[in-house]
Amino acid sequence: MAYEQLKLENQLCFPVYAASRLITREYQPFLDKLGITYPQYLVLMILWEEDGMPVNDIAKKLILNTNTITPLLKRMEQLGIIRRRRSGKDERKVIVHLTKKGKQLQEEASLIPEQLTDRLAEGDLKVEDLIRLKETLESMIRSLSK
């Protein structure tokens, strides 16, 4: 091949993309029990940390555009997991709150990280490898987000 740099095996992006898809697939059985998708799980984790957050802040934390997250939040509201309300202080802002159902999902979801880590550590990877990988990816995200 004339352009070695265009071979899939020489790309940084492909292993990151493939690993992301495969990890998300590993989450799916746990999330199916909760009746949520992986993106919904990410939103819930943010709200479990800090309930009553503006849509823009959630989008920023997830590195998503507001127009991408709005349909996701709408579906979550239809499921009765969250509710969206205009801010009383600034009507341009929409604030997202957990419902009782959304708060209850936290306890059920609390075992997912450990179960997933156990699953990933079944192979050649050690927990230390996973921690180091997470730190490297966080550094890459910070660098690309500038």
Residues 6+ apart with CB under 8 A from 31: 37, 38, 40, 41, 112
pLDDT in tens, 30-63: 999 999 999 999 999 999 999 999 999 999 999 9
Q: What is the DSSP string of 30-44?
A: HHHHHT--HHHHHHH
d(CA 80, CA 115): 26
Q: CATH number of the domain at 11-115, please? A: 1.10.10.10
What is the reported pTM? 0.90
Average pLDDT of the residues in 81-103:
94
Domain definitions of the chain by residue range: 11-115
Which amino acid, residue 108? E
β-pair partners for 57: none
Q: What is the pLDDT of residue 39?
A: 96
Residue 1 has pLDDT above 80, yes or no: no
